[in-house]
Structure 1
Amino acid sequence: MDKYLIAHDLGTSGDKASLFSIEGKLVKSYTASYKTHYFHNNYAEQETEDWWEAICRSTKEIVKDIEPEAVLGISFSSQMQACVVVDEKGNALRPVMIWADQRSGEQMEKLTEKVGADRMYEINGHRPSASYSIEKLMWFRDHEPEVYQNTYKMLLAKDYIICRLTGKDICSA
């Protein structure tokens, strides 16, 4: 029996699932789209359930002609800076602010004033940005305190999906 690997790329507009032979040859690929909700000029959100449904749909499509035991592994990559706030059970508390969401500009400015752009770069290798997760968490603290108080962890998109699949909140860099 041939053996396969599955790779998912959870992007801004959809999940692209690819089935590879164990030798690395692309066998099949399928993209399942989902929506991004843009509003208030600089808000951009997605629903975790849309991600999940897209992953299920794309996986079913690429494996429909093979035996399940032929799949040796599955991997995930995803859009960066999608801030998924979850409770202790791993449930998303609200729609996800994706990388394109810029509403936390005020929090970015306050963080830059307090820490300094150069120091932030020394700490994490990035300049301050309203698209990054720390600024988004600060926005929740300032504008959605009930979400902030109920947040157990913040996960990135791929990490949320891995948590949903395995029950473990694991982050890979």
Structure 2
Amino acid sequence: MIDAYFLGIDVGTQSARVGICDSNGRLIKTTSRAYRTFFPKPGWAEQEPSDWWKAVCESTRRCVEESGIKPSDITG
């Protein structure tokens, strides 16, 4: 029987992280990609949403490729 795999995404303040685990909760692979924070004025912090999206896409692609799991086996 083919195990079910699950992919999780976390977009945090410094990076996007992606992980794949099996149906028993065993972590198979994680990847991450950092993005920049800009400080245009004292007390301000800004980020580009397009950087978040690029980081999520890249981390997801790398996580699946490096895990060796077929994308069709990721069920959730």
TM-score, length basis structure 2 = 0.89
CA shift for structure 1 position 56: 0.5
**Which residue, out of 66, 71, 76, partners 1:68?**
71
CA shift for structure 1 position 16: 1.0
Q: Secondary structure at the match of 1:54?
A: helix
Residue in structure 1 matched with residue 46 of structure 2 by the alignment: 45
Percent sequence identity over matched residues? 34
Tell me how far apart the structure 1 counterparts of residues 15 and 33 of structure 2 sit (CA, whole Å): 5
Tell me how far apart the structure 2 counterparts of residues 35 and 49 of structure 1 sit (CA, whole Å): 11
Once the two structures are superposed, what CA deviation does each residue of 1:5-48 show, in whole Å capped at 9, x if it has no partner?
A: 11111111101111111111101111111111112101111111
User: Structure 1 stretches (4+) deviating beyond 6 angstroms?
Assistant: none
Amino acid at match of 1:60: R
* Length, aligned pairs only: 73
The within-5 A match list for 1:104-119 is none
5+ long unaligned stretches in structure 1: 74-173
Q: Secondary structure at the match of 2:36?
A: coil
Amino acid at match of 1:28: K
Higher share of residues assigned helix? 1
TM-score, length basis structure 1 = 0.41
C-alpha RMSD over aligned residues: 0.9
5+ long unaligned stretches in structure 2: none
- Of the two structures, which has the highest relative contact order with CA contacts closer than 8 Å and spacing of 6 or more? 2
